[in-house]
């Protein structure tokens, strides 16, 4: 048995490890190196400039503005998404206990679950295109509804006061479905007896959710939090497609800044790599922080 | 032994772990010149072959697949192979020029001809400052392919060479000739008994009439508000003379806050103050606003002469779109009302490291032949930089008005090029300022301040190469 083990390990571990090194680790390392050069991206020449790119970054108002927006996304997207996700999942799996013993979901739960999952099936590009039309100031769905009520709606994506929040809303909308399913699956793993016991003790739904469901789901919520936090630090595709950071940089995010610096209005690949390095460390710290803060005693269900 | 070989060997030896950062650096930026495949093609020059094209040299052409499509290029390629039957042409079309070609530039294996255009265009400042482009000077001196007794340069419209020149070197061949102006439907105007206004006061009076008739006088590309910077700068140049444009292009201090720019910004602020702009315009992109305009929801729109082909599918029959110059501010204008901004656009380039530079130049010579230019105009309804190439070609309505506007403008035509020198300044900074200004969130003084701040930030950025042009 023993002599057959090593070839097995090698065949199964080396190829993925190699792929990982070539396509993940090496680009990261290269980005670190490029970020210390003035490389302009269209020739093989690059001069080392030390930390000059990072010094310039520190004084770049546009980068700070983008970071501020990312910070808002980081603070709000996970909260809203998880709150909606928990609410819908709870309703679907134990919302309908009206007058009956036992714990059941609302009527038509399977149907809702499918509908909530729709955005997850669509590509982000399609979501962006859909919402761009919904936000269309004259023929869009939103302003169409507002017109029926007799209100003339704002220009949504065309107004710096609303554009960013419009994108944020789409981000939450696009994510909720997945977390409904995720939380739903986790909830179904919680033993029914616990709920029946709380029910007998006369706990309200709110108490059940806060005292029983969430603590038992904590691992899942924590994972969701990290995923969403990382997604909030990115946000690139939606923003680029819906507003491209505008109007007047009001919906800019750090990913768009990086892309624009390298491929958009300039070809400063060295500077863009420096932005990328900053993003890397921000994402890493957020993930580590989220894991640390979220660490709790695991509850054993046995 | 060079860096790439070292890398290969060290990787093979499994030494990648610790010194990886330094060694891997070779990958992204260290390419080019060491691939062993550096063969370039060069034939012998002769009267029949003034550019010295190697007859059997393959030619790779990359076309931006935008409003003009790619069929016109296939026709040019067929003309090229008709003259060089042994040459094999590799054609490709993409909408993402920079993403597709950036690795190939770094690797030193770029295509021979690149149509660097569209939203994914590569910033020319970056290309020029890295010496990535071949000098096209030889092309200008070569005889025209089918206009006897003239060099290629002689056949071009005025200004065509200047637009593609950086520090006196002709590096970018801009193929189309674009007129920028204010567009309206002659049908709408005839039906309502309106007439295009030649002075600003009359323009405002006309806007009042249009608004009273229940139509919004103006709309614009709200998500690309730089479209509105064109009429503002044009108004200023006509008022203050072409030095207004030279100052802006040369990043002179306070060029954006010149008296002429102030007068123009003050004037244009009127259409914002009086709410002459279609509701919701700031939320429309260029296609949405142009479509609203084609549907008769707005009377005026600012655009270049590609508008007609861009709107082909949604323009109602008999709409008769017409281009007109910006109105004069008053009697004191330095340029007459008829003066319009005409400029060469749709950039083509030959990378310096292309294998078949001579073939690339020859391809341009084919495009700039009378046959090539006429075919282009027929296929995509756009003018080329080749003078007189529209003779005998039946033009669509909008394009005939473009030709007329150009003729009327004559030697008074003007242009600016800061958008070519410093892409970021127009695409990002002036764009954002225009958005604030035309949605009414800032006034004319703040608008010019914001533009000037943008220009100053470019001027202060030592990593951007600066260009100067004389008036």
pLDDT for B11 beyond 70: no
Do the beta carbons of residue B198 and residue B337 sit within 8 Å? yes
Determine the Cα–Cα distance for residues A32 and B238; give it in Å rounded to an integer. 50
Residue B81 and residue B362: Cα distance in Å, rounded? Answer: 11
Distance from CA of B234 to the nearest CA of A (A): 23
- Give the A:B interface size as CB pairs under 8 Å: 141
Topology adopted by domain B179-342+414-460: D-Maltodextrin-Binding Protein; domain 2 (3.40.190)
- Binary contact (B283, A34; C-beta < 8 A): no
Interface of A with B (CB under 8 A): 21, 25-26, 29-30, 32-34, 37-46, 135-138, 143, 152, 155-160, 243-244, 246-249, 260, 263-268, 271
What is the model's pLDDT at position B8? 44
State how far the Cα of A210 lies from the Cα of A218, in Å rounded to an integer: 11
Q: Do A33 and B284 touch (CB under 8 A)?
A: no
- Read off the pLDDT of residues B281-296 as tens digits, 9 standing for 90 and up: 999 989 899 999 999 9
Q: Give the pLDDT confidence score for residue B309 in this predicted structure.
A: 84
Q: Are A113 and A180 in contact (CB under 8 A)?
A: yes
Identify the band that residue A97 occupies on the pLDDT scale cut at 50, 70 and 90: low
Enter the ipTM: 0.82
Contact A30 B27 (CB under 8 A): yes
CB contact under 8 A, B31 and A44: yes
Residue whose token pair is 């993940």: A24
pLDDT at B411: 87
Closest approach of chain B CAs to the CA of A88, in angstroms? 33
Per CB-CB distance under 8 Å, the chain A contacts of B428 are 260, 264-265
Of residues B110 and B43, more confidently modeled: B110
pLDDT score recorded for residue B229: 96
Question: If phi over 0 gives left and psi between -120 and 50 gives alpha, with beta otherwise, what is residue A244?
Answer: left
For A61-293, give the CATH class.
mainly alpha
Q: Is the pLDDT of residue A202 over 50?
A: yes
Q: Determine the Cα–Cα distance for residues A117 and A111; give it in Å rounded to an integer.
A: 10
Contact B126 A41 (CB under 8 A): yes
Considering chain A, tell me which residue range(s) the CATH 1.10.3720.10 domain(s) occupy.
Answer: 61-293
Residues of each domain in chain B carrying CATH 3.40.190.10: 59-177+343-401, 179-342+414-460
CA–CA separation, A134 vs A132, rounded Å?
A: 5
Tens-digit pLDDT profile for residues A231-283: 888 889 999 999 988 898 999 999 999 999 998 888 899 999 999 999 999 98
d(CA B461, CA B458): 5
Contact indicator for B330, B199 with CB cutoff of 8 Å: yes
Q: Contact A40/B130, CB-based, under 8 Å?
A: yes
Question: Do B260 and B456 touch, CB atoms closer than 8 A?
Answer: no
Is residue B300 a contact partner of residue B227, using CB atoms and an 8 Å limit? Answer: no
Is A44 a residue whose pLDDT tops 50?
A: yes
**Percent of chain B predicted with pLDDT > 70:** 92
Per-residue pLDDT at A2? 59
State the pLDDT confidence band at B14, using cuts at 50, 70 and 90. Answer: very low
| pLDDT of res. A95 | 67
Output DSSP code: residue B342: E
For the CA atoms of B265, B271, B275, B281, what is the dihedral angle to 10 degrees? Answer: -80
Which residues in A lie closer than 8 A to residue B280 (C-beta atoms)? 136-138, 143, 155, 158
What whole-number distance in Å separates Cα of residue B349 and Cα of residue B35? Answer: 23
Question: B428 phi and psi, to 5 degrees?
Answer: -105, -55
Burial B164-199 (b: 16+ CB within 10 A, else e): bbbeeebbbbbbbbbbbbbbbbbbbbeeeebebbee
Q: What is the pLDDT of residue B1?
A: 37
Give the contacts of B9 (CB within 8 A, at least 6 positions apart): none
B350–A contact, CB cutoff 8 A: no
Which of A200-207's residues contact partners 24+ apart within 8 Å by CB, and which partners?
A: A205/A90, A205/A95
Helical segments of B250-294, H only: 259-273, 286-294
Cα distances from B451 to residues A26, B44, B229, B249, B437, in angstroms, run: 41, 51, 10, 13, 11
The lowest-confidence range among A102-106, A252-256, B226-230, B457-461 is: A102-106
CB contact under 8 A, B24 and A263: no
CB-nearest to A247 from B22, B288, B435 is: B435
Residue A44 near residue B29, CB atoms below 8 Å: yes
B44-87: per-residue pLDDT in tens? 888 888 998 998 999 999 999 987 889 999 999 999 999 999 99
pLDDT score for B21: 37
Instruction: Assign B13 a pLDDT band (cuts: 50, 70, 90).
Output: very low
Q: Which of B338, B20, B32, B342 minimizes the C-alpha distance to B157? A: B342
Report pTM: 0.85
The mean pLDDT of B426-441, rounded to a whole number, is: 94
pLDDT at A153: 83
Q: Do B223 and A247 touch (CB under 8 A)?
A: yes
User: Is the confidence at residue A94, as pLDDT, over 80?
Assistant: no
B424 in contact with A at a CB cutoff of 8 Å?
yes
Q: What is the pLDDT of residues B165-199, one digit of tens each?
A: 888 899 999 999 999 999 999 999 999 999 999 99
Highest mean pLDDT among A69-73, A113-117, B307-311: A69-73
Cα B60 to Cα B56, B137, B296: the distances in Å are: 13, 21, 44
Confidence grade of residue B26 (pLDDT, cut at 50, 70, 90): very low
A9 pLDDT higher than 90: no
Residue with more model confidence, A113 or B351? B351
State residue B37's pLDDT score: 54
Which chain A residue is nearest to residue B14, measuring alpha carbons?
A18
DSSP per-residue codes, A97-123: -TTSSS----TTHHHHHHHHHHHHHS-
Q: Find which of A63, A252, A265, A273 to mutate to test the B interface (most B CBs within 10 Å of its CB).
A: A265
CATH no. for B59-177+343-401? 3.40.190.10
B residues 86-125 lying closer than 8 A (beta carbon) to A: 98-99, 102, 105-106, 108, 120, 122-123, 125
B7 has a pLDDT exceeding 60: no
Q: What is the pLDDT of residue A162?
A: 92
What per-residue confidence (pLDDT) applies to B432?
Answer: 94
CB-facing half-sphere around the CA of A237: CA atoms within 13 A: 11
Q: Which of residues 261-280 of B touch A (CB under 8 A)?
A: 278-280
For B447, nearest residue in chain A (alpha carbons): A248
Gap from A71 CA to chain B (nearest CA, Å): 22
CA distance A174 to A119: 5
Weakest mean pLDDT among A293-297, B117-121, B150-154, B417-421: A293-297
């Amino acid at each position: 048995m023993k002599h057959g083990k090593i070839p097995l390990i090698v065949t199964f571990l080396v190829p993925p490890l190699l792929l990982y090194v070539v396509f993940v680790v090496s680009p990261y390392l290269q980005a670190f190196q490029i970020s210390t050069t003035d490389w302009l991206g269209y020739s093989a020449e690059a001069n080392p400039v030390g930390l000059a790119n990072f010094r310039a970054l520190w004084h770049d108002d546009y980068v700070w503005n983008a970071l501020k927006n990312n910070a808002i996304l980081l603070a709000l997207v996970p909260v809203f998404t998880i709150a909606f996700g928990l609410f819908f999942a709870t309703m679907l799996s134990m919302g309908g206990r009206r007058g009956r013993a036992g714990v059941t979901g609302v009527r038509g739960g399977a149907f809702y679950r499918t509908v909530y999952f729709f955005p997850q099936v669509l590509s982000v590009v399609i979501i962006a295109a859909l919402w761009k039309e919904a936000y269309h100031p004259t023929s869009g769905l939103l302003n169409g509804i507002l017109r029926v009520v007799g209100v003339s709606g704002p220009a949504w994506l065309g107004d710096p006061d609303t554009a960013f929040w419009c994108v944020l809303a789409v981000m939450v909308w696009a994510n909720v479905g997945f977390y409904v399913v995720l939380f739903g699956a986790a909830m179904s793993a919680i033993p029914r007896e616990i709920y029946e016991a709380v029910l007998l003790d006369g706990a309200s739904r709110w108490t059940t959710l806060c005292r029983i469901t969430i603590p038992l789901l904590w691992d899942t919520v924590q994972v969701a939090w990290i995923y969403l936090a990382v997604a909030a630090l990115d946000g690139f595709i939606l923003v680029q497609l819906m507003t491209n950071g505008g109007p007047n940089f009001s919906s800019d995010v750090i990913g768009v800044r990086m892309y624009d610096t390298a491929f958009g209005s300039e070809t400063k690949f060295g500077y863009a790599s420096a932005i990328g390095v900053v993003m890397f460390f921000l994402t890493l710290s957020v993930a580590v922080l989220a894991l640390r803060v979220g660490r709790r005693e695991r509850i054993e269900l046995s | 032994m060079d860096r790439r070989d070292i890398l290969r060997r060290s990787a093979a030896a499994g030494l990648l772990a610790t010194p990886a950062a330094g060694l891997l650096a070779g990958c992204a930026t260290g390419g080019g010149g060491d691939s062993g495949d550096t063969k370039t093609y060069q034939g012998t020059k002769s009267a029949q072959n003034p550019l010295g094209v190697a007859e059997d040299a393959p030619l790779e052409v990359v076309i931006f697949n935008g409003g003009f499509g790619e069929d016109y290029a296939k026709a040019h390629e067929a003309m090229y192979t008709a003259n060089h039957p042994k040459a094999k042409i590799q054609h490709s079309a993409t909408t993402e020029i920079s993403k597709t070609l950036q690795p190939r530039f770094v690797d030193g294996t770029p295509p021979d001809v690149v149509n660097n255009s569209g939203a994914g265009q590569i910033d020319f400042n970056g290309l020029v400052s890295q010496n990535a482009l071949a000098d096209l000077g030889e092309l200008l001196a070569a005889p025209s392919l089918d206009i006897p007794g003239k060099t290629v340069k002689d056949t071009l419209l005025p200004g065509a060479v200047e637009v593609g020149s950086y520090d006196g070197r002709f590096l970018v061949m801009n193929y189309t000739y674009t007129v920028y102006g204010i567009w309206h439907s002659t049908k709408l105007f005839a039906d309502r008994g309106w007439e295009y206004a030649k002075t600003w006061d009359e323009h405002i009076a006309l806007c009042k009439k249009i608004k009273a008739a229940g139509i919004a006088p103006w709309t614009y590309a709200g998500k690309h508000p730089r479209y509105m910077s064109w009429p503002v700068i044009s108004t200023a140049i006509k008022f203050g003379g072409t030095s207004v444009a030279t100052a802006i292009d040369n990043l002179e201090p306070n060029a954006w806050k010149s008296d002429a720019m102030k007068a123009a910004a003050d004037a244009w602020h009127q259409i914002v103050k009086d709410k002459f702009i279609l509701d919701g315009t700031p939320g429309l992109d260029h296609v949405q606003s142009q479509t609203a305009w084609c549907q008769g929801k707005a009377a005026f729109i600012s655009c270049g002469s590609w508008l007609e082909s861009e709107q082909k599918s949604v323009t109602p029959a008999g709409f008769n779109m017409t281009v007109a110059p910006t109105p004069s501010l008053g009697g004191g204008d330095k340029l007459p009302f008829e003066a319009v901004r005409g400029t060469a656009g749709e950039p083509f380039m030959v990378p310096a490291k292309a294998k078949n530079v001579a073939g690339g130049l020859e391809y341009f010579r084919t495009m700039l032949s009378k046959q090539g230019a006429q075919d282009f105009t027929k296929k995509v309804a756009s003018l080329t930089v080749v003078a007189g190439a529209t003779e005998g070609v039946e033009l669509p309505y909008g394009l005939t008005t473009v030709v007329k506007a150009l003729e009327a403008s004559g030697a008074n035509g003007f242009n600016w090029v800061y958008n070519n020198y410093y892409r970021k300044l127009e695409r990002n900074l002036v764009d954002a300022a225009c958005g604030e200004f035309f949605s009414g969130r800032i006034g004319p003084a703040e608008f010019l301040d914001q533009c000037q701040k943008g220009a100053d930030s470019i001027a202060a950025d030592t990593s951007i190469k600066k260009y100067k042009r004389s008036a």
